[in-house]
């Protein structure tokens, strides 16, 4: 197992080195205003130059997705001194926001090293001691927030049951029958934001942070997803990067095409690309 | 991949984690010759654990008719087809396990069922292998056959679900070998659903994470057998703990039936998971089918079952099935009875090996009533 992981990390670093050279840098332009940047139609985005990010099939660690569907993202970045935001656009002919056994959701994620000025961690979700902040937007969470979480009948229109425990028991007694929802597993619902603020130190270590600071919004129209992900540049969260104007760091991206059964490590990813935060 | 020893296939095999057996292993034995598919076990499990939203078609315990019943649809024939024809010509299995057969980029060979495959939990019920022609009558062997296969999670020694999970959300308890899925840690990737060849991990579309049989661990921790076991009206099940083959305790009913007598066989041992639910195979089913389902040596098991009346200790172990809600960790035949003991050697069950016959008079003069004898 250890030998397999070591070889995989080596491959990832090789890919990262090659990819970083070929990739155009991303600049987070300074825009006026204050507070979260979640408006997809903000005029500020016209000031930001889009960068084409080539997406690679994840074939480094198992399980793999050699036939990942999304080949390219268009990414812009902006900041207002308090919040940094990424506008990510990609072509996706299928809207995937209904989650059942054989339906997976569209997702996109931005990854930043926790220490923007330190050694660059592995681009594949960091490494032991090289912690990264991963902000993941989910189409299913966006739907939860836009139209409400799906009921059983939303997912299966002909479903019918005599009664459920929560209809005949008090909340405390019914809770054991609610599984992950009762445990407030953050994967179960998009509660306040469609973006999960997470940290990782390598494969399998992704952890949703207790402090959620990332916000965002996504809209799918005519076969194109436009998603904005934003977070405070400085916060009291020790597991978030502290970004200041003038910083030069890196950013990584991953995307999942739910219609192609992409989930977890079955995804497309991009090696680090340079990220400059304008003064 | 680490090398681990799988006694069910008689050889070492590759597994993603190092082999470490639990202190004792949760296990269950089913006597398929006695199951009538009444589904009392299914209902007991359902009403205990899976009545919540998103669990409507989730049956941690199910009973299906073989060969044409499946839940989910085609679960075993699909993975057998993907694995392909394999060599099984002796106690050492020379064919590929699901780990040996892993495609490039996968941890093991598996597949993700369609959602619709779960829509008919009792499909194929009572279907036999063919039609009975006009004038058919009872012959031996039977003209056509079918049997009932009750199933729960196998709490495998080398679980496929555990190995497939990229974030270690599934763990095997060192104290009893029960395999659990952490509802807080799971992220709903469904790799466990894809990986488990028995399809005993289910996706809950309401919670967006996967769920599975928990081996009724709160009961087991208290020395009681699982809900599906203690509610079985046919007394076809026994649940307890199984030791590894190098630590066999002949007085443990499960060790005795699995390791000593070898009358209880694992389900699809060729997959390489060392599953811990065991089946006393049906004696009326062709050996070729049974060999595929329960592995090498299944004919000896059916031959032994036919002779069970001649073997008092074996009869005693089988008589303990359904005799007590508590877990029998030891047993012995005492005169004409079999006695079950708990872990502290306290007697928990005493059952006659031969059920007493009581013949009542047809006419009861005291109550001036005619009575029919029943057994």
CATH number, domain containing residue A92: 2.60.40.1190
Task: Give the DSSP H or E segment for A217.
Answer: strand A215-221
Q: For residue B170, list its beta bridge partners.
A: B181
Q: What is this structure's pTM?
A: 0.94
Distance from CA of A268 to the nearest CA of B (A): 14
For chain B, which ranges sit under pLDDT 70? 373-375
Per DSSP bridges, beta strands B25-31 and B237-242 are: antiparallel
Maximum Cα–Cα distance across chain A = 62
Tell me if A268 is assigned to some domain.
yes
Facing residue for A187 by CB, picked from B52, B106, B188: B188
CA distance B21 to chain A (A): 18
Q: Measure CB to CB from residue A265 to each of B55, B166, B209 and give the nearest one.
A: B166
Instruction: Report the alpha-carbon distance of residue B116 to residue B100 in Å, rounded.
Output: 29
- What residues does A273 pair with on adjacent strands? A251
| Chain A interface disruption, residue of B205, B213, B217, most A CBs within 10 A | B205
Tokens of A54: 């080539």
Question: Is residue A217 a contact partner of residue A142, using CB atoms and an 8 Å limit?
Answer: yes
CB spacing of B113 vs A101 below 8 angstroms: yes
CA distance B160 to B116: 23
DSSP codes joined into one string, A116-185: TTSPPPPTTT-BTTB-EEEEEEEHHHHHHHHH-PPPHHHHSTT---S--HHHHS-HHHHGGGGHHHHTT-
Cβ distance A155 to B205 less than 8 Å, yes or no, reads yes
Q: What is the DSSP letter of B113?
A: P
User: How distant, in Å, are the alpha carbons of B327, B329, B350 from that of B345?
Assistant: 11, 8, 13
C-alpha to C-alpha distance for B54 and A149, rounded to whole angstroms: 13
Cβ neighbours, 10 Å, residue B345: 9
The whole-number pLDDT of residue A22 equals: 55
Contact A135, A196 (CB under 8 A): yes
Mutate to test the interface with A, among B206, B209, B211 (most CBs of A within 10 A): B206
Tell me the nearest-neighbour CA distance from B164 into chain A, angstroms: 8
At A5, the pLDDT band (50, 70, 90 cuts) reads very low
Token pair, residue A35, equals 């507070």
pLDDT at position A19 over 60: no
Q: For B167, which residue in chain A has the nearest alpha carbon?
A: A204
Residue A52 to chain B, least CA–CA distance (Å): 28
Half-sphere exposure of residue B367, counting CA atoms within 13 Å on the CB side? 7
Rounded Cα–Cα distance for residues B234 and B230 (Å): 10
Q: What would the two tokens of residue B46 be?
A: 């359902």
Query: A272 near A20, Cβ under 8 Å?
Result: yes
Domain assignment of residue A158, yes or no: no
Q: Which residue of A has its CA nearest to B3?
A: A1
Q: Do A203 and B118 touch (CB under 8 A)?
A: no
Which residues of A are less than 8 Å from B217 in CB distance? none
Per-residue pLDDT tens digits for A198-214:
999 999 999 999 989 99
Distance (Å, whole) CA B171 – CA A83: 40
φ/ψ region of A191 (left if φ > 0, alpha if ψ in -120 to 50, else beta) reads alpha
Q: How far is A187 from chain B (nearest CA, A)?
A: 6
Q: Which residues pair with B27 in a beta bridge?
A: B240
Angle between helices B298-306 and B287-294 (to 10 degrees): 120
What pLDDT is stored for residue A24 in this prediction? Answer: 81
Distance (Å) from the alpha carbon of B331 to chain A's nearest alpha carbon: 36
Q: CA–CA separation, B233 vs B65, rounded Å?
A: 18
Give the residue among A204, A76, A208 at the shortest CA–CA distance from A135.
Answer: A208
Q: Are strands B237-242 and B265-266 parallel, antiparallel or unpaired?
A: unpaired
CB B304 within 8 A of CB B314: yes
Q: Does A173 fall in a domain? A: no
- Chain A closest CA to B309's CA: distance in Å? 45
| Rounded CA separation B257/B178 (Å) | 20
Domain count of the fold of chain A:
1
Residue A99 has its nearest CB partner, among B107, B113, B208, at B208
Contact B255, B243 (CB under 8 A): yes
Instruction: Give per-residue pLDDT as tens, A122-175.
Output: 999 999 999 999 999 999 999 999 999 999 999 999 998 999 999 999 999 999
The verdict on a CB contact (< 8 Å) between B166 and A264 is yes
Q: Is A169 domain-assigned?
A: no
| Structure confidence at residue A29 as a pLDDT band (50, 70, 90) | very high
- A185–B183 CB contact, under 8 Å: yes
Topology of B2-280 in CATH? Answer: Alpha-Beta Plaits (3.30.70)
Closest Cβ–Cβ partner in B54, B115, B166 for A152: B54
Note the pLDDT of residue B279.
98
Element (H, E) at B77: helix B75-83
pLDDT digits (tens, 9 = 90+) for A266-279: 999 999 999 999 99
As given in the structure block, the two tokens for residue B136 are: 């058919």
Give contacts of A155 with chain B, Cβ < 8 Å.
205-206
Is B148 in contact with B197 (CB distance < 8 Å)? Answer: no
The domain segmentation of chain B, as residue ranges, is: 2-280
Quickly count: other Cβ atoms within 10 Å of residue B18's Cβ.
9
Give the span between the Cα atoms of A232 and A217, in whole angstroms.
15
Query: Would you say residue A96 lies in a domain?
Result: yes
Q: What is the pLDDT of residue B361?
A: 85
How many CB pairs (< 8 A) connect A and B? 116
Q: Is A31 inside any structural domain?
A: yes
Q: Which residues are CB-neighbours of B281 under 8 A, at least 6 positions away?
A: B32, B265, B290, B293, B294, B298, B301, B302, B305
Boundaries of domain holding A68:
2-149+189-277
Q: Tell me the pairing of strands B363-364 and B347-352.
A: unpaired
- B305 token code pair: 């079952």
Q: Is the dihedral of CA B39, B61, B223, A170 positive or negative?
A: negative
Using CB atoms within 10 A of its CB, is residue B11 exposed (0-12), middle (13-18) or buried (19+)?
middle
Q: Which residues of B touch A (CB under 8 A)?
A: 1-2, 16-17, 51-56, 104-107, 112-115, 118, 164, 166-168, 183-184, 186-191, 193, 203-209, 211
Q: Which two tokens stand for residue B167?
A: 């974030």
| A111, B253, B317, B334 from B350: Cα distances, Å | 64, 14, 12, 9
| Distance (Å) from the alpha carbon of A88 to chain B's nearest alpha carbon | 23
Q: Which of A185, A202, A263, A267 to mutate to test the interface with B (most CBs of B within 10 A)?
A: A185
- Cross-chain Cβ contact B207/A265 below 8 Å: no
CA atoms B93, B97, B99, B104: torsion sign: positive
Q: Across the interface, do A99 and B205 touch by the CB < 8 Å criterion?
A: yes
Omega prior to B72 cis, within 30 of 0? yes
Quick check: A43 pLDDT over 80?
yes
Of A150, A155, A204, the CB nearest to B166: A204
Angstroms from B54 CA to nearest CA on chain A: 7
Do strands A195-200 and A132-138 pair parallel, antiparallel, or not at all (unpaired)? antiparallel
With an 8 Å Cβ cutoff, the interface of chain A facing chain B consists of 1, 4, 59, 61-64, 66, 99-103, 140, 150, 152, 155-156, 159, 161, 164-166, 177-181, 183, 185, 187-189, 203-206, 261, 263-265
Nearest CA in chain A to B118: A101
pLDDT of A15 higher than 60: no
pLDDT, tens digit (0-9, with 9 covering 90-100), for B130-178: 998 899 998 877 889 999 999 999 999 999 999 999 999 999 999 999 9
Using the 8-state DSSP alphabet, how is residue A82 labeled? S
CA distance B351 to B333: 10
Tell me the per-residue pLDDT of A220-264, one tens digit each, with 9 for 90 and over. Answer: 999 999 999 999 999 999 999 999 999 999 999 999 999 999 999
Q: How far apart are CA A98 and CA A100, in angstroms?
A: 7
* Residues in CB range of A170: below 8 A, 6 or more apart: none
The percentage of residues in chain A with a pLDDT greater than 70, rounded to a whole number, is 92
């Amino acid at each position: 197992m250890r030998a397999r992981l070591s070889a995989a990390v080596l491959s990832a670093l090789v890919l990262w080195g090659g990819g970083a050279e070929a990739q155009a840098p991303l600049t987070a332009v300074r825009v006026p205003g204050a507070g979260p940047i979640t408006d997809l139609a903000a005029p500020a985005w016209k000031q930001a130059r889009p960068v084409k990010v080539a997406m690679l099939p994840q074939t480094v660690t198992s399980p793999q997705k050699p036939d990942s569907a999304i080949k390219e993202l268009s990414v812009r970045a902006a900041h207002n001194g308090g919040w940094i935001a990424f506008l990510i656009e990609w072509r996706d002919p299928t809207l995937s926001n209904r989650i059942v056994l054989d339906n997976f959701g569209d997702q996109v994620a931005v990854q930043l090293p926790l220490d923007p000025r330190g050694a660059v961690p592995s681009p594949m979700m960091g490494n032991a001691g090289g912690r990264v902040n991963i902000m993941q937007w989910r189409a299913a969470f966006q739907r939860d927030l836009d139209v409400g979480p799906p009921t059983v009948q939303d997912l299966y229109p002909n479903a019918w049951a005599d009664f459920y425990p929560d209809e005949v028991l008090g909340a405390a007694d019914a809770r054991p029958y609610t599984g992950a929802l009762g445990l407030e597993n953050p994967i179960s619902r998009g509660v306040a934001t469609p973006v999960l603020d997470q940290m990782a130190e390598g494969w399998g270590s992704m952890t949703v942070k207790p402090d959620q600071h990332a916000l965002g919004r996504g809209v799918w129209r005519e076969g194109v997803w436009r998603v904005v992900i934003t977070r405070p540049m400085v916060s009291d969260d020790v597991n978030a990067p502290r970004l200041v104007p003038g910083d030069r760091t890196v950013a990584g991206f991953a995307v999942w095409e739910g219609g192609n059964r992409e989930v977890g490590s079955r995804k497309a990813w991009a090696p680090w690309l340079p990220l400059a935060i304008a003064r | 991949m680490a090398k681990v020893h799988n006694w069910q296939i008689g050889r070492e095999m590759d597994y993603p984690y190092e082999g470490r057996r639990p202190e004792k292993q949760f296990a269950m034995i089913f006597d398929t010759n006695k199951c009538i598919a009444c589904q009392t076990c299914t209902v007991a499990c359902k009403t205990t654990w899976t009545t919540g939203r998103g669990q409507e078609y989730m049956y941690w315990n199910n009973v299906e008719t073989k060969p044409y019943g499946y839940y989910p649809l085609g679960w075993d024939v699909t993975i057998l087809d993907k694995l392909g024809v394999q060599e099984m010509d002796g106690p050492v299995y020379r064919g590929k396990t699901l780990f040996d057969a892993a495609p490039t980029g996968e941890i093991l060979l598996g597949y993700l069922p369609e959602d619709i495959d779960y829509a008919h939990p009792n499909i194929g019920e009572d279907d036999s292998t063919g039609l009975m022609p006009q004038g058919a009558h009872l012959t031996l062997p039977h003209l056509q056959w079918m049997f009932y296969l009750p199933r729960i999670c196998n709490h495998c020694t080398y679980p496929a679900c555990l190995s497939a999970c990229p974030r270690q959300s599934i763990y095997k308890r060192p104290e009893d070998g029960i395999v659990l899925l952490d509802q807080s840690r799971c992220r709903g990737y469904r790799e466990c659903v894809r990986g488990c060849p028995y399809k005993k991990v289910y996706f809950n579309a309401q919670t967006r994470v996967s769920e599975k049989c928990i081996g009724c661990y709160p009961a087991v921790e208290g020395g009681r057998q699982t809900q599906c076991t203690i509610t079985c009206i046919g007394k076809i099940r026994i649940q307890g703990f199984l030791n590894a083959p190098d630590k066999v305790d002949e007085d443990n009913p499960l060790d005795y039936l699995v390791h000593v007598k070898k009358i209880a066989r694992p389900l699809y041992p060729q997959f390489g998971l060392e599953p811990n639910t065991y089946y006393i195979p049906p004696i009326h089913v062709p050996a070729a089918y049974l060999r595929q389902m329960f592995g090498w040596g299944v004919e000896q098991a059916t031959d032994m079952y036919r002779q069970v009346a001649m073997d008092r200790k074996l009869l005693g172990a089988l008589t303990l099935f359904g005799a007590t809600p508590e877990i029998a960790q030891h047993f012995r035949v005492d005169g004409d009875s079999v006695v079950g003991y708990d872990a502290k050697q306290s007697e928990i069950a005493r059952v006659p090996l031969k059920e007493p016959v009581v013949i009542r008079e047809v006419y009861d003069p005291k109550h001036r009533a005619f009575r029919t004898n029943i057994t």
